[in-house]
């Protein structure tokens, strides 16, 4: 059975961190991270949100027992693709605004001379 602790351990490992380093990252004691991983204690909702944010995993990742991981990963990749496209468009808009401002500055300089 895959537990929340197992998922936390997996997420920390994927980050390339040890328990102590991860504990520092989310500002808790290493013993608490260890208790989560061993199943001695489950993280609070607030802690789980911190864990998800720090690891870049959706909250659902910590509750899936492996059966839905492929579907969740596909959905996450789809979500990231949409975000990437939106960011690309925003960058293009900013570049256009920058180019327009540069042109205005050049015109202003020419008019002053």
> Where does the pLDDT of residue 8 fall: very low under 50, low under 70, confident under 90, or very high at 90 and above?
very high
Residues 6 or more apart whose Cβ sits within 8 Å of residue 51? 8, 11, 26, 43, 57, 62
- The string of pLDDT tens digits covering residues 51-93 is 999 999 998 898 876 555 555 556 656 666 767 777 888 888 8
Contact 39, 3 (CB under 8 A): yes
Fold of 1-67: 434 Repressor (Amino-terminal Domain) (1.10.260)
Higher local confidence (pLDDT), 66 or 50: 50
What is the C-alpha separation between 63 and 66, in angstroms, rounded?
9
- The string of pLDDT tens digits covering residues 11-31 is 999 999 999 999 999 999 999
Contact 22, 33 (CB under 8 A): yes
pTM higher than 0.85: no
For the chain, give every domain's residue range.
1-67, 68-113
């Amino acid at each position: 059975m895959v537990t929340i602790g197992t998922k936390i351990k997996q997420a920390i490992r994927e980050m390339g961190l040890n328990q102590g380093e991860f504990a520092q990252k989310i500002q808790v004691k290493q013993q608490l991270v260890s208790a989560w991983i061993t199943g001695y204690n489950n993280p609070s909702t607030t802690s789980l949100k911190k864990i998800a944010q720090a690891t870049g995993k959706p909250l659902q990742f910590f509750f899936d027992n492996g059966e839905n991981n492929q579907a969740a990963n596909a959905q996450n990749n789809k979500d990231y693709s949409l975000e990437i496209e939106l960011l690309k468009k925003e960058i293009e808009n900013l570049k256009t605004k920058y180019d327009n401002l540069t042109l205005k500055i050049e015109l202003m300089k020419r008019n002053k001379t």
